[in-house]
Structure 1
Amino acid sequence: MPAIQLFGTPLSGHCHRVTLLLKMLNLPFELKEAGAAERKTEEFSHLNPLQQVPVLVDGEHVITDSNAILVYLVKRYAPDSHWLPEDPLKAAEVQKWLSRAAGEVRSGPASTRMVKQFSAPEPYDYALALTAKFLPQLEKHVETHEFLATDRATIGDLACYSYIAAVPEGGVSLEDYPAIRRWLKRIENLPGFTPLPALPLPERAL
């Protein structure tokens, strides 16, 4: 059995960003299904009292929060890599995009998908408005940057990728954002990439 266990669900973008890094670092791991029912169990609540996925178990270490897991994996298994640079300014840029993944991306693109595909009780109009504000900003940034934080892919890219790529499943088209689509393709061309399982598109994409 692999030393690393990842508790999550394949359709979760938060889990997908961790899966991407595990595969890109060539780290063997076991994905353990943790759907809504499993997350309410005493066993899972012991791992994460918030009953949220993903949860990474690496030997005796239990790490929760997808972005925290990304930082842990790089620091432990690839400390001198491009995924999280030591340079203060570059590290700050990576942190900025991790924060945007947890902020604008989660409350915008991710929320639109959660409402459309999983009937999540979240404000769809607000998510649409935030997405409409954020995507042009991202488009302008990646018009002049190959990757988000540095000249190579970082965990900031992986943290933002999944829900941006899947935003059409939330009813938002990427047709007007060619630079974003090129950035997505650059992530998809990285060794070890695996796609987020596709869901049906809504009848109307905005």
Structure 2
Amino acid sequence: MGLELYLDLLSQPCRSVYIFAKANSIQFDFKKVALAEGQQYGEEFGKINLLRKVPAMKDGDFTLAESIAILLYLCRKYQTPDHWYPEDPIKRARVDEYLSWQHSAMRAHAAKMFWFRLMIPVITGEDVPKPKMDSAMEDLNNTLQLFEDKFLQDHPFIVGDEISLADVVAIVEIMQPLGSGLDVFEGRPKVAAWRDRVRNKIGPKLFDEAHNDILNARNLPDTFEKNGMLDFLKPKIHKLFN
């Protein structure tokens, strides 16, 4: 049995795994888990990942959850080029530093704007109150500024002159708000130039393919209407945000 990756490219961690595997010519069987249809709650997927989250991986009899763990596993098993996760202890520490920081910073705030601007209004039929929206936008702007000042600085990439896992994980998160119509690159030429370098290194075709679903996320209301997920999600969203 070959490598199986369980993914939905609406999910930013799924995109990081997909991009990395494709960019390194790692052969895998793409197993689509449609989040908008609730397939993560199905019995079969539960056998792969009891956490009910994507991405998930199955390699023979071995299963693995969590995108960072999967990325590191792929790095080690397939002995990908050193620049992705450098042997040099200082460079590797810089990758680890970003990967550790981003969970509660870039991921949290970029994803919140996507939910506030698109998903919550779609699911509940109500806009997020302006004070909450303004606070979320302030958090995202502060995080983007920290990304520039602390992690990017004046380097081409996060760890210097070469792309690494940190850049892949960063770009998929920063692209997420675009799905709600919010261009986070506007007025941030340094971050926009970094995005272009990452896109070129990954390959424009792969980059655009991986982000096609999120850039068309405004079609999600039709999907929710068709599959009945609105009634399922409404109480969960109200519990989280009210």
- Residue by residue, what CA displacement relative to the aligned partner does 1:146-197 show, whole Å, maximum 9, x if unpaired? 1112321111111111121233334353211101001111110024533211
Alignment pair present for 1:199 and 2:209: no
Shift of 1:97: 1.2
Distance 1:99 1:127 in 2: 21
Mapping for residues 13-52 of structure 1, pairs under 5 Å? 13-36=12-35, 37-52=38-53
Residue 67 to residue 89, structure 1, CA distance change in 2 (3 Å): same
Q: How many residues align?
A: 200
Letter aligned with residue 184 of structure 1: R
Superposition deviation, residue 19 in structure 1: 0.5
Pairing of 1:79-98 with structure 2 (within 5 A): 81-98=82-99
Cα 1:57/1:126, change in 2 over 3 Å: farther
Structure 2 counterpart of 1:104: 105
The whole-number CA distance in structure 2 between the counterparts of 1:180 and 1:44 is 37
Provide the residue aligned with 2:144 in structure 1.
135
Closer, same or farther in 2 for the Cα pair 1:67/1:125, shift >3 Å? farther
1:110-189 alignment runs, 5 A limit: 110-119=111-120, 124-140=133-149, 141-170=151-180, 171-189=182-200
Instruction: Tell me the residue number matched to 1:204.
Output: none
CA distance in 2: counterparts of 1:47 and 1:125, whole angstroms = 39
Note the C-alpha offset of 1:100: 2.7
Equivalent-residue separation in structure 2 for 1:74 and 1:110 (angstroms) = 26
Distance 1:128 1:172, change over 3 A: farther
Give the CA deviation at 1:14. 1.1
Give % identity.
26
Instruction: Report how far residue 33 of structure 1 moved.
Output: 1.4
- Contact kept, 8 Å, 1:5 with 1:30, in 2: the verdict is yes
The more displaced of 120-129 and 30-39 is 120-129
CA contact (8 A) 1:107 1:130 kept: no
Secondary structure at the residue paired with 2:19?
Answer: helix
1:54·1:66 contact (CA, 8 Å) conserved in 2? yes
* C-alpha distance in structure 1 between counterparts of 2:28 and 2:179, whole Å: 28
- SS at 1:164's partner residue? helix
Contact 2:4/2:29 (8 A) holds in 1: yes
For 1:129 and 1:187, locate their aligned partners in 2 and report how far apart those are by CA, in whole Å: 25
Asked if the contact 1:4/1:59 (under 8 Å) is kept, the reply is yes
Tell me what 2:240 maps to: none
Scaled by the length of structure 1, the TM-score of the pair is 0.86
**How far apart, CA to CA, are the structure 2 residues paired with 1:190 and 1:79?**
15
Which has the higher Rg, Structure 1 or Structure 2? 2
Q: Distance in 2 between matches of 1:55 and 1:77?
A: 17
Q: How far has the Cα of 1:56 moved from its partner?
A: 1.3
Native 8 Å contact 1:6 1:54 kept in 2: yes
Corresponding residue for residue 225 of structure 2: none
Q: Secondary structure at the match of 2:63?
A: strand
The answer to whether the 8 Å contact 1:109/1:131 transfers is: yes
Shift of 1:200: 5.9
Q: Match for residue 54 of structure 2?
A: 53
